Structure 1
Amino acid sequence: MTMIALVAALLLLGILLGAVAQLPLSATFVACAVIGVWLLVFAVRERRARQH
């Protein structure tokens, strides 16, 4: 859950202050989804590695 909050916070920060404001909104959401999936995969792999 904290990773989702982190992605949302970075997205909002990027929209307000960064280069993301120069991208179309659809491209921003695609990038956010890609980063979110990557973080989810990373979290699952780390959790499995700690269980074994």
Structure 2
Amino acid sequence: MLFLVVALFLFGALIGTAAHLPVPVTVVAGIAIAAWLLIFLTRERRKAGSTTKGAGR
């Protein structure tokens, strides 16, 4: 939970800084954040899928 709070804080700081950055830098940062979120999503889905398979037994 603390990790999410820190991530949201940093995301807010990036959004605030995006107003002062050139557009290409902002786009690259957005792509990097989206890739990180996609990797995080796939890891969490794998963990959830592997724990629920054995729960019914």
Question: Does TM, normalized by the shorter one, top 0.5?
Answer: yes
Distance in 2 (CA, whole Å) between partners of 1:41 and 1:30 is 17
Q: What is the TM-score of this pair, normalised by structure 2? A: 0.60
* Structure with the bigger percentage of helix: 1
Runs of 4+ in 1 over 6 A off after TM superposition: none
What are structure 2's unaligned runs of at least 5 residues? 1-10, 51-57
- The aligned residue for residue 36 of structure 2 is 38
Q: 2-side partners of 1:37 and 1:25: how far apart?
A: 18
Sequence identity of aligned pairs in percent? 43
Runs of 5+ unmatched residues, structure 1: 1-9
CA RMSD of aligned residues (A): 1.2
State which structure, 1 or 2, has the greater radius of gyration over its C-alpha atoms. 2
Report how many aligned residue pairs link the two structures: 37
